[in-house]
Amino acid sequence: MSKRMEALGMVELSSIAVAYLVEDAMLKASDVDLLVARTICSGKYIVMVGGSVASVEASLRAGREVSREALIDELFIPNIDERVFPAITGSVALEDSDKDALGILEAFSVTSIIEGADAAVKAADVTLFRIHVAMAIGGKGFLLLTGEVSDVTAAIEAGAKQIGKRGLLVSKVVIPRPEARLFKETL
């Protein structure tokens, strides 16, 4: 990413063809970084961008204008925590000292897991190391974070509360002192 990400914007669409039109409009509208653009389960398509608050707002507005009836959901998070982006791209390295507890949140939608991730990392001193969005899991999303048991518990509760506001929480789990081999499965 070329610049500091201040905001995240995302659209979820029911038409792949319209999604390409939306993605083009979003990228032409302002100076944003394209973070994710791909098909997801159930034949949907997501476009996720990051950048300054104003540029992400302009990008989302342009995408909405051409989305026709294909817009399913959208997300805008100004002042997003910078730890969310590396977890989306899978570029977080863990130290053994980070692994006192493992927290998992699972949501019914991609947008809600991103909202939950932002709330979780803002609530406690944790390492958010993975956000998995909708591939091979029926359009759902999940996140993994680690840290001290009390911090992981606080983060998971905050994220679950945010996801629960939309009625999209599937599950929340905190595993104290997880078996080390469990982390090999999650990376």
Domain-located, residue 101: yes
pTM (two decimals)? 0.82
pLDDT at 1: 42
Residue at which a domain ends, from 78, 103, 138: 78
Can you tell me the distance from the alpha carbon of 69 to that of 86, in angstroms, rounded to the nearest whole number? 32
**Tell me, what CATH number does 45's domain have?**
3.30.70.1710
Q: What are 172's strand-pairing partners?
A: 105
Give the count of domains, the chain.
Answer: 2
Same domain, 55 and 20: yes
What's the Cα-to-Cα distance from 47 to each of 10, 125, 131, 156, rounded to whole Å? Answer: 6, 29, 15, 26
Per-residue pLDDT of the chain in tens (187 residues, 90 and over written 9): 446 789 999 999 999 999 999 999 999 999 999 988 888 877 889 999 999 999 999 999 999 999 989 998 899 999 999 888 888 877 788 877 677 899 999 998 888 899 999 999 999 999 999 888 765 556 688 999 999 999 999 999 999 999 999 899 999 999 999 988 777 655 4
Q: What number of CA atoms fall less than 13 Å from residue 35's CA on the CB side?
A: 26
Specify burial of residue 136 (Cβ count, 10 A radius: 0-12, 13-18, 19+).
exposed
Strands (E), the chain: 7-13, 33-40, 44-51, 71-78, 101-107, 127-133, 141-147, 169-176
For residue 46, what are the domain limits? 7-78
Same domain, 180 and 123: yes
Domain-located, residue 110: yes
Among 185, 159, 168, 180, which Cα is nearest to 103's? 159
pLDDT at 187: 44
Domain-located, residue 1: no
Q: Name the residue with tokens 């359009």.
A: 139
Single-letter amino acid, residue 113: I
Can you tell me the distance from the alpha carbon of 162 to that of 85, in angstroms, rounded to the nearest whole number? 18
Residue 59 CA, distance from chain mean position? 18
Domain-located, residue 111: yes
pLDDT at 85: 83
